[in-house]
Amino acid sequence: MFIGQPNNRTQERIRSMIENPRRRAFWAARSRRRAAVAVFVALTLAAALFLALPLVVGASLSFPGMAGFVGLLLVSAVLSTHINIAARWVVGYHGLDEFQRAEMDRATRLGHHVTAALATLLVAVTAGFATAAPGTDMGAEVPLAVLAPLVVVTTMAHAAFPACYLAWTRPDELPDDED
């Protein structure tokens, strides 16, 4: 077993927490899951703007600006865990059928594609600024106002995209038949 990889007991505990009947409220209808994904995206972009705005204006990062950035990012991370529960996204395949495994593999693959696209954008922006004006001072610097929000968005997209994709695309849960 590798360091950081959950063992079977941990996977079973995570699976039982997600499959807990009290947690079914988090599964919610598709429209509610989509609303949570939309709020998550809005919070992540707002956090990136909180980081970029003072840098664009030319001011230094102030304590309220940094507190707003960290606060929005923390709320975004908490919402991301709720989306993980709504999508029933867990590490490993323990207790999953073939369809669920294929669905999780597809979401992971798409998440890696999104991360690769954002990383390519990050490299292109950096290279563009580096070659923009080769003879001037501006050509060697990449503005932190551009680079920092792209790094934040790329990191959050990598961490949350598979669960957001599953939460967005999964159909509504079928209600359990009560006897």
Q: What is the pLDDT of residues 67-113, one digit of tens each?
A: 888 899 899 989 988 888 888 776 666 667 788 888 889 999 999 99
Mean pLDDT value of segment 140-153: 74
The letter for the amino acid at 38 is A
Distance CA 48, CA 5 (A): 30
Q: Is the model's pTM score more than 0.75?
A: no
